[in-house]
Structure 1
Amino acid sequence: MTKNILKLAAVPSVFGLVSMSLSVKDSGDFKEYSTDGLDLSYTVPVEDDVEPHDLDVTNFANVGTSFAGFKEALGFKESRNDYSRINKFGYLGRYQFGRSTLLLLGINDTEDFINNPVLQDKAFIANLARNKWVLRKDIKRFAGKEVNGVLVTESGILAAAHLGGPGSVKRYLRSGGVDGFRDAFGTSLKSYMKKFGGYDTSFIEADHYPKVEI
């Protein structure tokens, strides 16, 4: 299967938002694919102590619930939007990527990654595309429903997958919120599902094998 390449596209830029789009091959029968053996646990974010609505509103002027708003809010939650941040567990950059996830996206040089904001934004979008592909059936099944007291939305699902990986989100949703994941800081999937619900992530196209064009 030909691997899809992340390419730049004309998408409005907001506060450093990197403009790009993801393309996928024509849809086929995905039943043959399995997530068995995939590294589905991705990021370990910073402490769970800031709500998106408590952030400095000057950073979110005119972005609202757009994709730009989603990107800014999640980046702030992960690292205070610090592209150079490396946390005590070794997670890297604005979005706190693990090295194994970067390898899946075709990024081998972590030194270049930590010094390259454009590359970090590309990786963020590519990772969303992969998570959206893995969770495509769950998005269709659960979006608009309430699970464990939280209204499920596509953006909430993708944010939770960024926290704990799509495999953890699958188990959480399919168990009715009973099988919950918490990261090393104690942050839960439920909290991310709630914090980042209601954003427009329709811009992201599901892609089984996204690769970042460096």
Structure 2
Amino acid sequence: MRKNIGSLIALSLTICVLLFSSFKTNKAITSNDYSANDLSYTNDNELDPSESTMLPLEKTYKPFSPTLGKSFVGFKEALGFKESGGDYFTVNTFGYLGKYQFGKETLKMIGVYNLTHFLNNPEIQEKAFLANAERNKWILRKDIDKFVGKTINGIHITESGILAAAHLAGPGNVKKYLRSYGSDVFADAFGTTIQHYIKKFSGYDTSMVKPNRKAKVKLKA
């Protein structure tokens, strides 16, 4: 009889343990048990973040922003944007044409006579920009040698600044500004001064522009 009672007690204890474990593992999860920060959401189609092939987010989606810096291409693109917003096909209220806002007389000096063809041909406009810069650099070669590195009206003088100002106002007006040490300041029809261009376009690499008194746009046959 005692043996049977002992067996019944052991069986009862076993059943209690099993029931207790069942209730513990099937306890309902309430909103108080976890915070939103503890939750993770998975998708069967996504990689496990713990896998070694997963790159950190900042490396995977790091934004890329190309820059032309202070190169010659950067110089002419910055100048073109200032002149026209980079629009090859625009004509302003004073009749200046294209991306670099050339005047008719300047174009004639570098061999461009067909204004309609010029306005509709970005390649010719780029050639015109270089030819005009080469011509201006030849005209201003002595002033570049004399004034680059100096400071006028608080502005550091650089070759690219001089060439930009010459594009705005012509080399003759740049000579007057430099040789008067900043007292003779030309401004265009919109009020933009030589001094502003010398400062704004300072420090670009324009060494590839070679002084050329006879610089012309070479048109294709």
| The one of 110, 113, 131 aligned to 1:108 | 113
Residue of structure 2 equivalent to 1:193: 198
1:178 correspondence with 2:183: yes
Q: For residues 189 and 163 of structure 1, what CA distance do their matches in structure 2 show?
A: 7
Which amino acid in 1 is paired with 2:212? D
Segments of structure 2 that go 5 or more residues without pairing to the other structure are 1-63
TM-score, length-scaled by structure 1 = 0.72
Q: Which has the larger radius of gyration?
A: 2
Which amino acid in 2 is paired with 1:125? L
Residue of structure 1 equivalent to 2:131: 126
Q: For residues 67 and 204 of structure 1, what CA distance do their matches in structure 2 show?
A: 9
- Structure 1 SS opposite 2:162: helix
1:152-191 deviation per Cα after TM superposition (whole angstroms, max 9, x unaligned): 0000000000010000000000001000000000000010
Matches within 5 A, 1:64-75: 64-75=69-80
- Structure 2 SS opposite 1:112: helix
Higher helix proportion, which one? 2
1:49-70 deviation per Cα after TM superposition (whole angstroms, max 9, x unaligned): xxxxxxxx95xx2310000110
1:211 correspondence with 2:216: yes
- Structure 2 SS opposite 1:177: coil
1:136 correspondence with 2:141: yes
Residue of structure 2 equivalent to 1:167: 172
- Structure 1 SS opposite 2:99: coil
Residues paired across the two proteins, number:
156
Q: For residues 201 and 99 of structure 1, what CA distance do their matches in structure 2 show?
A: 25
Q: Percent identity?
A: 59
Q: For residues 151 and 181 of structure 1, what CA distance do their matches in structure 2 show?
A: 18
Q: For residues 107 and 162 of structure 1, what CA distance do their matches in structure 2 show?
A: 16
Residue of structure 2 equivalent to 1:93: 98
Which amino acid in 2 is paired with 1:204? V
- Structure 1 SS opposite 2:130: helix
Segments of structure 1 that go 5 or more residues without pairing to the other structure are 1-56
Residue of structure 1 equivalent to 2:87: 82
TM-score, length-scaled by structure 2 = 0.69
RMSD: 1.1
1:116-146 deviation per Cα after TM superposition (whole angstroms, max 9, x unaligned): 0000000000000000000000000000100
Q: For residues 119 and 201 of structure 2, what CA distance do their matches in structure 1 show?
A: 25
